[in-house]
Amino acid sequence: MTYAYKLMDSPVGQLKLVARGECLAAILWENDKPNRVRLGEVTHDEDRPILREAERQLNEYFAGKRQTFDLALDFQGTEFQKKVWAALLTIPFGQTRTYAHIAAQIGNINAVRAVGAANGRNPISIVAPCHRVIGASGELTGFAGGLANKMLLLSLEAGQTSLEAGAERRTPAVKGPIKETVKPADKADKANKRPRPAPAPAPARELQTSLFDD
């Protein structure tokens, strides 16, 4: 069976949406490595219904209006890869999982490296959220779309209204673990290694009495 594709512009670069029959088979990145996802013969088709629907739902996701996708998917890979990709679909919006967690979920705790390899070959990026898988220490590990895009997607899901504004602040690479957000006032107190002073107690109200003649 031949594959059909259409291109769409997005805040994370141009995406190539690929269909196999009436199912979505791949979402490829603008600078995707050749042969990362193996497909058959691919022809251009702007009007394939599944591709138009995938584009619509992706635009809603980028605009902060969609948290889950409702698309027919067709994963092509080994049985092990399909187990990993199915596990990706269970990671809720706004949450992350480690490679070890995915390995345990599919019943093979010793397959952490193999899980990482399968995650890297996930054909349906974003919809099957491989960007939600991080290193055990919180590191943003390798991502086919680039670490800057991985951070943008995680930032979107952390509560940013839409991705358009965040795209202007993208960085070429992200190194190190995801850091905890700390309020400015708390930062100063932590730097001084002393607790914030407790507020002074309110003064006691003076008891007043009145004398009345009988």
Instruction: List, in order, residues 6 or more apart from 51 with CB less than 8 Å away.
Output: 4, 5, 6, 17, 18, 19, 24, 45
Secondary structure class of 50 (helix, strand, coil): helix
- As a dihedral over the C-alpha atoms of residue 22, residue 68, residue 116, residue 180, rounded to 10 degrees, the angle is 160
Place of tokens 């990362």: 36
DSSP symbol at 124: B
106-140 burial: b if 16+ Cβ within 10 Å, else e: beeeebbebbbebbebbbbbbbbbbbbbbeeeeeb
Q: Which of 73, 88, 126, 130 is catalytic?
A: 130
Examine the residue annotation and report whether 130 is marked as an active-site residue of this protein: yes
Positions marked catalytic? 130
